[in-house]
Structure 1
């Protein structure tokens, strides 16, 4: 993952904003010191950004270095939120969307270009079920506002949007100049930019010489090193019960260099005439995904894990295996709306049901 510049820190856009989405960290960070590094102590930080809670836990012998790293992570997050928020005026995403709507091209930094290209690749791998080009559909459903209360859009509005079929794949580059041949494309990276922020945070910590840490943004996480420095035990993470988010339904072990991301229909929604509408939309139908209540994915880079969790939730019980294979995802833990648990063999080796 390339290091982002002034536009680099994170976007946690409101398509995935929620405190309820938090995975519960069950790790007991106490007396995790090794014989060769007895000076290491846990340094913890917690702050709000992207409309959610960020938690960082670091084991490092130099508290000043750890705090400097945490401060830099927070600074980059604040910059990224302003630059990449889908409807933050003056941000890069807003400028790109405006240029596309006006059928104009726009010059972007290489870091922005590379992230869009990676998102296009993820869109292709997901067979279009993950697509950051559907910002206009998200707005149509009202999930670009701070309050989500309905009513749902009329069927004709959905059909009109489908007829235009906007996609991130409609974006092309001529050097650093971005152009789209579909003026209805509107970028919204709520499905994977939080993962990018996690990757950026871990990269920042490593640049400060930190070897053991856990970063959580709204509950999506990535680990660096081990939880137990002496016995090299993996981090223990809990998975929320969609029917009762205040409790855990399972725990899983997370190793250094791995990310865990959960996408859930129970996190952000509105009820209208006795029907619930989730913020996670199916680009193929124009309507919210309904089959899975949540999907948890373990993968190396958090950007791909974030994208895959969204795509697999949209795919549902009938097609998730096909999409997982296409995206090279082997560790999946899914819960249907009825509460049935579905998981891959590789994930079952990591998960303990509670």
Structure 2
């Protein structure tokens, strides 16, 4: 064999060797032949609750410091518990020009869901929440006259906004995004991690979840739904729902309620009546493309009740639902939309 042929063979072998190393490093060869990238687990506290985040990263990067900073900045915009936040500054004034990038997206989503839910979802419930004051051990019980006065400045159609600012069309209108902001904060963190090149991840905050890809076992992310029976412990599950590049949120009054003079009041306010809801749905779980949507709609369906929820879901085909409700005899039943049935374990 002449030297030219030998050199050609050696060159080919070298190229194949380099290509093999590249394929291994980039996980393109058979996964069984490549070391599995580790999953990173990040936990912390935010928004008066806790968060748990899991993602697969070949470099095992820990994003906790950036996530905590991001969530603090988010609260500076939309938290009604954060002194000096953008939302409180709007509530105290006639208008507000946006500084941070979070206020406008929530306004846009709120407007769409307010309209689609026929007013069942309405972030202008803030003065009603203050009147009932569920934060106290024994909430206030406002009378009908007080509620009727407050309802004069409740209604999302009483504000206007554009790309730069939000204004009040009626004095004393105030916003409360607690039924949508937590879901949106999960989307913000989720997008931050996705932008780092992560493909498999799960972000949970306050029981709401958004996930993509698979978990450490290579399975779809599975989320447990609490059993709302009074005697059931928090560890007992009514169902398990698998999600694929989706978000999930559950709203319910089965643990957040108080009893006054024999009447049971939940902590979800009907923005149309000004009083806590007393509907057949006791737990509403929504699966949606984003957690902002899932969060808002799970609250809205607690207000609409089962039959109106079914009508809305027939039009909002991007949503899936699992409802736990009480029938006319007071017995607990479940309702599952057809587009969720194959992903739910009872």
Taking structure 1 as the reference length, what is the TM-score of the superposition?
0.81
Hey, what does 2:241 align to over in structure 1? 252
Tell me which residue corresponds to 2:123.
132
Within the candidate set 55, 60, 81, 2:57 is matched to 60
Q: Pick one of 190, 210, 226 that aligns with 1:240.
A: 226
Match of 2:250 among 232, 244, 262: 262
Match of 1:44 in 2: 41
C-alpha displacement of 1:113: 2.3
Q: Does 1:346 align with 2:336?
A: no
Unaligned runs of 5+ in 2: 1-29
CA distance in 2, matches of 1:199, 1:174: 22
* 2:146 counterpart of 1:157: yes
Note the C-alpha offset of 1:35. Answer: 3.1
Distance in 2, Cα, partners of 1:347 & 1:175: 36
Match of 2:12 in 1: none
CA contact (8 A) 1:56 1:70 kept: no
- Aligned-pair distance for 1:269? 2.4
Structure 2 distance, partners of 1:196, 1:175, is 18
Task: Mark the CA change 1:83 to 1:106 in structure 2 (over 3 Å): closer, same or farther.
Answer: closer
- Return the structure number with greater helix share: 2
Tell whether the 8 Å contact from 1:195 to 1:302 is kept in structure 2 after alignment. yes
Unaligned runs of 5+ in 1: 1-32
Answering whether residue 305 of structure 2 is matched by residue 316 of structure 1, we say: yes
Aligned match of 2:97: 107
Structure 1 equivalent of residue 289 of structure 2: 300
Deviation at 1:83, TM superposition (A): 3.0
Structure 1 residues 37 and 201, CA, compared in 2 at 3 Å: closer, same or farther?
A: farther
Match of 2:19 in 1: none
* Counterpart-to-counterpart distance in 2, 1:253 and 1:261: 13
Q: Could you tell me how far apart the structure 1 residues matched to 2:178 and 2:190 are?
A: 20
Q: Is the 8 A contact 2:55 2:201 kept in 1?
A: yes
Aligned match for 2:132, one of 131, 141, 145: 141
SS in 1 for 2:313: helix
1:133-282 to 2 correspondences below 5 Å: 133-143=124-134, 145=135, 147-162=136-151, 164-173=152-161, 176-227=164-215, 233-243=219-229, 244=232, 245-255=234-244, 257-282=245-270
Alpha-carbon separation, structure 2, partners of 1:253 and 1:174: 38
CA distance, structure 2, for counterparts of residue 53 and residue 137 of structure 1:
27
Contact 1:239 1:249 (C-alpha < 8 Å) held by counterparts: yes
Q: For 2:339 and 2:34, locate their aligned partners in 1 and report how far apart those are by CA, in whole Å.
A: 33
TM-superposed deviation, 1:280 = 0.9
* 1:174 Cα deviation after fit: 5.3
Is 1:214–1:224's contact at 8 Å kept on the other side of the alignment? yes
Measure the CA separation in 1 of the matches of 2:104 and 2:319: 28
Q: Name the residue aligned to 1:12.
A: none
The whole-number CA distance in structure 1 between the counterparts of 2:183 and 2:301 is: 16
Larger Rg: 2
Cα deviation 1:262-289 (Å, max 9, x = unaligned): 0111242222223321111111111112
Indicate if the aligned counterparts of 1:150 and 1:271 stay in contact, CA closer than 8 A.
no
Does structure 2 conserve the Cα–Cα contact (< 8 Å) formed by 1:46 and 1:55? yes
CA apart distance, 1:327: 3.6
Residue 84 (1) aligns with residue 73 (2): no
Change (3 A) 1:152 1:185: same
Q: For 1:124 and 1:148, how far apart are their aligned partners in 2?
A: 34
Greater RCO structure (CA 8 Å; 6+ sep): 1
What is the RMSD of the two structures over their aligned residues, measured on CA atoms? 2.0
